Structure 1
Amino acid sequence: MSRLTDADVIYTWTDESPMLATHSFLPIVKGFLEASGISVATADISLAGRVMAAFGLIDDDLATLGELTASPRATIIKLPNISASVPQLKAVIAELQAQGVDVPDYPDQPATEAERETRARYDAVKGSAVNPVLREGNSDRRAPSAVKAYARTHPHSMRPWSPDSRSRVATMDAHDFRHNERSVIVPEAGALQIRLLPADGAAPVVLRERLAVTAGEVVDATFMSATALDAFLTQQVAAAKAEDILLSVHLKATMMKVSDPIIFGHAVRAVLPQTFAQYGEVLEAAGLRADDGLGAILAGLDTLAQGEQVRASIEAELAAGPAISMVDSERGITNLHVPSDVIIDASMPVMIRGGGTLWDKDGSRRDTLAVIPDSSYAGVYQAAIEDCQAHGALDPTTMGSVSNVGLMARKAEEYGSHDKTFLIPATGTVEVVVVEGAGAEHGTVLLSHEVEAGDIWRACTTQDFPVRDWVHLAVVRARATGSPAVFWLDPERGHDEVIRGLVERYLAEEDTEGLDIRILDPVAATRLSLERARRGEDTISVTGNVLRDYNTDLFPILEVGTSAKMLSVVPLMNGGGLYETGAGGSAPRHTRQLLAHNHLRWDSLGEFLALAEALRHVAEVSGKARAAVVADALDAATTTLLEEDRSPARELGSVDNRGSHAWLALYWARELAAQTADAELAGRFAPVAKQLGAVNEAVQAEMAAAQGSPVDIGGYYRPDAAATDAVMRPSATFNAIIDAL
């Protein structure tokens, strides 16, 4: 345990492209930091690592990090990780088993106590399992000045909007999570129970035996009607066909690991109604579920006696129905193949940046009907589309920034709803009742809904202290920047109205004189933010947990081309720091490119930015002033890297992730050698800078020479460490200098 608790900086091993990049960048980090007297430890929070830890096969680093977040010394660099859907979880299980790791199969329908225990362990691993543990603070996400300056002088491509664009968002206007939401504040600490009272008079079904709550905690509950969802989806399939535009479904089946896979399954069935009417029972018996996506169904048909008939039925319905947007046209991967392939916060900004278009099966761009069933946040994307249809594409060379202060501490809001979300088994009434304390008599019903079998019901909680901290952080950022801070709260949502009352109360306790602080509904806030951005003005969006995720992809992708270039700081509420390195939406695609061509386009800029901020925190809490010197040198090196255009490029043979790391090391060493704040440090790195400068041309040649052929790293989720090192550290010349540090 001291391995992590005693380290100045903890760097996380995660998955896919970020993990590959870590094999290249971490030796540089360790070399530079440890040569400067700053200790570094690593923690495995990868999907494979979490699975193995769940069965006691390795240390549970995630749990240890969760405990460390309570320490003011905690300084954690958190890279993007897989928030696993069921298909991904099954894939990692199969890979581990093939490697000889003793983990059990995933039980789709657990029947025994042992299977239920296994399922519970796996359920704790999938979806958003990492972030709720580590995010013991609210978030501050923004584009650093160097990144913004680079985007203005090197603008990314923005596809123009056609004046005839027919793209739009379709969302439910009733009977969804937004419209059914109810919310209360629990005045005292206590415990609640969630139960279903069946309409037929059967015994109550306890959905959640005990839910502990704290004084002042906001508790809300809502549900989505399955009947209304099916009717809505059927209408959108018909509309896309009639209008001859692409049908595209946008969900978050990773973070919303219970509700959104179910909604995804409804969408698959809506596109293939005849197939499921005729073969649904056969598919269900074979464990081929719509919730897992079209890809999983097609892959399993070879084992079915009626497999070819089912395949023919699917192909016929797809041919007769609307064109479906594609994740990968060349490989025939549709929007409905894998629930984790189309993540709304990445896919919708890409559509907007692409002039409102997505790709069809022929690889051509077409106008798109973006289906977002729940209306809670769909209006944000529709407002952005309408703005672009009216005014054209945004201009990265002139547009202002929209940063974010996000409420997410202690599993706040929807992303903390996984263990309180249920597929309703029978028609009846779901109740949230008091079983202990909570300022009410035992059995008091706080919230209730009339539901039908198949509905999706969920509860969410938000503690009082994180709300206070969030409001305070918004005021701090408004004063630091001079920009308006806008709370995005929807008066038609029960939860948001309760939060609004708390925001107004806690703002009254803050010094807001001279500050521009507003509360707007999300659609109005989107319009204001885009109006200001078009004038080159900055705005702070102050949002809840899910909108935090959506906004910190939407605006950065439009501003600087990718959310991976955002600086993401989470000031932990006990004084520690969590430094996140951007988004992992492109991670699978870049991983495939490395495996096929030994070229990794992943940009580690987010890691550079996060590490510099983390080092400043180390300087504050450890007394190691040198850490701040190293941080300043890293920031200066990062600025040079951007100005000299040494970031990874798309084309094979050009600088990739590994070559970019070598350039950064050269610039970083030069900055450390040139700085005057620490003469000993300058003397330590002067020869390193000289060495790296002398061999840089040879190093880059060795990096480039490695590209062009497929590579085998011994696994996707748990690759062989030595094989991955060999691929990601191809320059012996460079390695010798770094390892000597």
Structure 2
Amino acid sequence: MAKIIYTHTDEAPLLATYSFLPVIEAYASTAGVEVETRDISLAGRIIALFGDRLTPEQQIGDALAELGDLAKTPEANIIKLPNISASIPQLKAAVAELQSQGYALPDYPDNPQTDEDKDVRARYDKVKGSAVNPVLREGNSDRRAPASVKNFAKAHPHSMGAWSSDSKTNVATMGADDFRSNEKSVVIESDDTLSIRLVGEDGTTTVLKDAVPVLAGEVVDSTVMRAAALDEFLTAQVQRAKDEGVLFSVHLKATMMKVSDPIIFGHVVKAFLPDVFETYGADLAAAGLSPSNGLGSILAGLDALPNGAEIKAAIEQGIAEGPALAMVDSDKGITNLHVPSDVIVDASMPAMIRTSGHMWGPDGNEADTLAVIPDSSYAGVYQTVIDDCRANGAYDPTTMGSVPNVGLMAQAAEEYGSHDKTFEIDRAGTVEVVNQAGTVVLEHAVEAGDIWRACQTKDVPIRDWVKLAVTRARASQTPAVFWLDPSRAHDANLIAKVEAYLPEHDTDGLQIEIMAPAEATQFSIDRIRRGEDTISVTGNVLRDYNTDLFPILELGTSAKMLSIVPLINGGGLFETGAGGSAPKHVQQLVKENHLRWDSLGEFLALASSFEHMATTTGNARAQILADTLDRATGTFLNENKSPSRKVGEIDNRGSHFYLALYWAQELAAQTEDADLAAAFAEVAGSLAANEQKINDELLAVQGSPADIGGYFRPDDAKVKQVMRPSTTFSEVLGILG
């Protein structure tokens, strides 16, 4: 029996799975397709790492490692929902919840001293940040808006804030002494093992990483952000925001960039409150209250300090005297600096651009903003879009073109978090990348506090990326632009490879260009305004950024994108969109039993998964499932059955009912398989006959708090009860039993 693996993840996508998975299982099994789940949630990954400390009943296997192995096989057919890329505050909160549920987990050691503490820290570090995606992404990314989604967005446009020609919103970035400007890159000639060491000015040598295996043709980069320059830049931006009368906001990626960006975030907190840290920095450090964990964690820990009230008053004074801070939640006083994972650049910048270039201020009103993006690698992309909106006004979702993406990410290509190769340097010296022959292949002079990092990009993924770009350009007859800057070390090496590999493919009649990111942005948005599409062919970072930026402007959300990862060894990974708003959705569910999570991404991924199965296994019924689900999704959109944001109206559970209804009707009406049509005729009839009753049962539970028994690891029985409140719907699905 053919098999699909559906991932059990976190937050709103997990809650939605409890409602939608029974539909998938019932429909798929009737067509001879088996669906299994694997737990790759943050809580599940933590539990899997500490089996030696748990009871036999609590122990679970390492599902992520299992799926990582599966992704390297032709049999892989994995549907991957959004998961938490945990910052340290999130990780600590997950551990605390699991401890409260009876799991004998150790606390996360901030400053490990003993061997045991170091072991615990090393285990926890494996689940921090973007720990899931590099394991599963054994292929490059093909992300685009399906025609049905794009047409719906044009017919039912989302709101777009008007832009003023005198908007003072801008991006501030370093441009010198940052990761972009200090980058060095080399192409490895033959298989080797590199090591990374710090040769100190004091004569000491410390091995930072002893073994980095590399393959012939692999691109290896290293770079450094200089702490002194970062601090000088940040101090200037705080003053600039105050002088210009705009909100101050920092935009980082403290989830994926789990080592470098929390450190940078800490520098921002200190730059915004210099007097506080000059006076009380030693007290805070002694108490383990790090600015890298955000202002919120510092404020939460002040009660335990004898001078906590004094420090809190100093923080409040510093905030009052500085520029107005952009807010995550002005009603609750949660600022842009409270939690490093609250404001994530790839989601926050397009949301700001969509909202007239505004963020929310402490007074609860929108205002122009200075968006601080310290590293200049891709800051120019956002500045280009802002300048275009200031000159030409907001984009029009009813007419604008699309920017699908082909992203280089296979085998952790350009894994820009470079988690195991990022270091905060503790003393002055030189960081060297050395091969087995003892030759230094890359080096940087460093000072204490500098942030040094390296990353790798293997040759096979680059070849596959070029092939996928040509394939997509040919299939859609759309211009494709490689967003690569010849003045940047890494990009220069990639350009040489792209120019070498493009002639291996038939590009006759295709428009394929290479442009630096800011230039490529302008080219793409000029075409957008003319209603024309342009494929962005990008590295891993810009894949992440562009697949939020353009979909949020075009569709209102990135969750409605079709995201296919053709795995290099023949399998398929089908991703279901972004989960950046998932925490707010969970909060609303717990407060008023209304889940506004939109599962459209799951519908699109599932149809692609069925189609892949039909192609690779010859299962004709899987193709019927794909085709009928695709048509049902079109009806779902046309009938506007997506979840409402408001309690008392259709939510995620209601949207699943309507998808099930339309899908059953399509299956009953199809003529390729009479037995399958007969099997679904009764279901379609029963769902239609009970439409009002099922809707009443789904709506009746809304408006009161919902108990799910936990945030990171909710109680299975409680979530089933909350997410499946219609006994009538469940009984009809049981017909397929």
Asked whether the two chains share a fold, i.e. TM above 0.5, the reply is yes
Hey, what's the Cα distance between the residues in 1 that align with 2:27 and 2:417?
A: 38
1:493 maps to 2:483: no
671, 693, 697: which is aligned to 2:666?
671
1:730 maps to 2:725: yes
Q: 1:739 Cα deviation (Å)?
A: 3.2
1:480-507 Cα offsets, whole Å, 9 max, x none, are 0111000000122110111110000001
Q: 1:434 Cα deviation (Å)?
A: 0.7
Query: What is the aligned partner in structure 2 of residue 643 from structure 1?
Result: 638
- Partner SS, residue 310 of structure 2: helix
Kindly indicate whether the alpha-carbon contact (under 8 Å) linking 2:197 and 2:431 is maintained by their aligned counterparts in 1: yes
Kindly indicate whether the alpha-carbon contact (under 8 Å) linking 1:416 and 1:461 is maintained by their aligned counterparts in 2: no
Q: 1:555 Cα deviation (Å)?
A: 0.2
Hey, what's the Cα distance between the residues in 2 that align with 1:712 and 1:244?
A: 44
Q: How does 1:58-457 map to 2 (within 5 A)?
A: 58-201=60-203, 203-415=204-416, 417-435=418-436, 442-457=437-452
1:544 maps to 2:539: yes
710, 716, 721: which is aligned to 2:716?
721
Hey, what's the Cα distance between the residues in 2 that align with 1:577 and 1:432?
A: 35
Q: 1:182 Cα deviation (Å)?
A: 0.3
Query: What is the aligned partner in structure 1 of residue 56 from structure 2?
Result: none
Q: 1:681 Cα deviation (Å)?
A: 0.5
Hey, what's the Cα distance between the residues in 2 that align with 1:740 and 1:61?
A: 32
Hey, what's the Cα distance between the residues in 1 that align with 2:551 and 2:734?
A: 36
Q: Give 2:601's aligned amino acid.
A: G
- Partner SS, residue 82 of structure 1: coil
- Partner SS, residue 410 of structure 2: coil
- Partner SS, residue 490 of structure 1: coil
Hey, what's the Cα distance between the residues in 1 that align with 2:586 and 2:87?
A: 18
- Partner SS, residue 67 of structure 1: helix
Hey, what's the Cα distance between the residues in 1 that align with 2:481 and 2:473?
A: 10
Kindly indicate whether the alpha-carbon contact (under 8 Å) linking 2:195 and 2:210 is maintained by their aligned counterparts in 1: yes
TM-score (norm 2): 0.98
1:358-411 Cα offsets, whole Å, 9 max, x none, are 001122000000000000000000000001001000000000000000000011
Query: What is the aligned partner in structure 1 of residue 54 from structure 2?
Result: none
Hey, what's the Cα distance between the residues in 2 that align with 1:702 and 1:236?
A: 54
RMSD value, Cα: 0.8
571, 578, 588: which is aligned to 1:583?
578
Query: What is the aligned partner in structure 2 of residue 509 from structure 1?
Result: 504
- Partner SS, residue 177 of structure 1: coil
1:20-50 Cα offsets, whole Å, 9 max, x none, are 1001101111111112110000000000000
1:270-321 Cα offsets, whole Å, 9 max, x none, are 1111111111111111111000001111111111111101100000000110
560, 576, 590: which is aligned to 1:565?
560
Kindly indicate whether the alpha-carbon contact (under 8 Å) linking 1:7 and 1:41 is maintained by their aligned counterparts in 2: no
Kindly indicate whether the alpha-carbon contact (under 8 Å) linking 1:556 and 1:562 is maintained by their aligned counterparts in 2: yes
Kindly indicate whether the alpha-carbon contact (under 8 Å) linking 2:260 and 2:417 is maintained by their aligned counterparts in 1: no
Hey, what's the Cα distance between the residues in 2 that align with 1:398 and 1:454?
A: 49
- Partner SS, residue 384 of structure 2: helix
1:596 maps to 2:591: yes
Q: 1:414 Cα deviation (Å)?
A: 3.7
- Partner SS, residue 174 of structure 2: coil
Q: 1:712 Cα deviation (Å)?
A: 1.4
Query: What is the aligned partner in structure 2 of residue 438 from structure 1?
Result: none
Q: 1:357 Cα deviation (Å)?
A: 0.4
Kindly indicate whether the alpha-carbon contact (under 8 Å) linking 2:358 and 2:366 is maintained by their aligned counterparts in 1: yes
- Partner SS, residue 254 of structure 1: coil
Q: How does 1:665-704 map to 2 (within 5 A)?
A: 665-704=660-699
Hey, what's the Cα distance between the residues in 2 that align with 1:211 and 1:12?
A: 30
Query: What is the aligned partner in structure 2 of residue 17 from structure 1?
Result: 12
Kindly indicate whether the alpha-carbon contact (under 8 Å) linking 2:138 and 2:410 is maintained by their aligned counterparts in 1: yes
- Partner SS, residue 442 of structure 2: strand
Hey, what's the Cα distance between the residues in 1 that align with 2:160 and 2:478?
A: 26
Hey, what's the Cα distance between the residues in 1 that align with 2:481 and 2:286?
A: 51
Query: What is the aligned partner in structure 2 of residue 439 from structure 1?
Result: none
Query: What is the aligned partner in structure 2 of residue 481 from structure 1?
Result: 476
Hey, what's the Cα distance between the residues in 1 that align with 2:171 and 2:735?
A: 56
Hey, what's the Cα distance between the residues in 1 that align with 2:114 and 2:497?
A: 46
Q: Give 1:596's aligned amino acid.
A: K
Query: What is the aligned partner in structure 1 of residue 55 from structure 2?
Result: none
Kindly indicate whether the alpha-carbon contact (under 8 Å) linking 1:179 and 1:492 is maintained by their aligned counterparts in 2: no
525, 528, 542: which is aligned to 1:533?
528
1:111-170 Cα offsets, whole Å, 9 max, x none, are 111111111111111100000000000000000000000000000000000121000000
User: Structure 1 stretches of 5 or more lacking a match?
Assistant: 1-5, 436-441
- Partner SS, residue 402 of structure 1: coil
Q: Give 1:59's aligned amino acid.
A: G
- Partner SS, residue 223 of structure 1: strand
Query: What is the aligned partner in structure 2 of residue 607 from structure 1?
Result: 602
- Partner SS, residue 337 of structure 1: coil
Q: Give 1:355's aligned amino acid.
A: S
- Partner SS, residue 251 of structure 1: coil
Hey, what's the Cα distance between the residues in 1 that align with 2:327 and 2:560?
A: 26
Q: 1:7 Cα deviation (Å)?
A: 5.7
Hey, what's the Cα distance between the residues in 2 that align with 1:49 and 1:362?
A: 40
- Partner SS, residue 322 of structure 1: coil
Hey, what's the Cα distance between the residues in 2 that align with 1:373 and 1:55?
A: 37
Kindly indicate whether the alpha-carbon contact (under 8 Å) linking 1:593 and 1:599 is maintained by their aligned counterparts in 2: yes
Q: 1:716 Cα deviation (Å)?
A: 0.3
1:194-217 Cα offsets, whole Å, 9 max, x none, are 00000122x201100111001111
Kindly indicate whether the alpha-carbon contact (under 8 Å) linking 1:197 and 1:429 is maintained by their aligned counterparts in 2: yes
Aligned-residue identity in percent = 64
Query: What is the aligned partner in structure 1 of residue 32 from structure 2?
Result: 37
1:542-574 Cα offsets, whole Å, 9 max, x none, are 000010000000000000100000000000000
Hey, what's the Cα distance between the residues in 2 that align with 1:590 and 1:291?
A: 26
1:211-239 Cα offsets, whole Å, 9 max, x none, are 10011110010000000000000000000
Kindly indicate whether the alpha-carbon contact (under 8 Å) linking 1:176 and 1:225 is maintained by their aligned counterparts in 2: yes
1:676-704 Cα offsets, whole Å, 9 max, x none, are 01111000000000000010111111111
Kindly indicate whether the alpha-carbon contact (under 8 Å) linking 1:27 and 1:739 is maintained by their aligned counterparts in 2: no
- Partner SS, residue 179 of structure 1: coil
Hey, what's the Cα distance between the residues in 2 that align with 1:738 and 1:228?
A: 62
Query: What is the aligned partner in structure 1 of residue 627 from structure 2?
Result: 632
1:554 maps to 2:556: no
Runs of 4+ off more than 4 Å: none
Hey, what's the Cα distance between the residues in 1 that align with 2:401 and 2:633?
A: 22
- Partner SS, residue 573 of structure 1: coil
Structure 1 residues 67 and 416, CA, compared in 2 at 3 Å: closer, same or farther?
Answer: farther
Q: Give 1:296's aligned amino acid.
A: S
Hey, what's the Cα distance between the residues in 1 that align with 2:595 and 2:333?
A: 23
Hey, what's the Cα distance between the residues in 1 that align with 2:322 and 2:183?
A: 34
- Partner SS, residue 434 of structure 2: strand
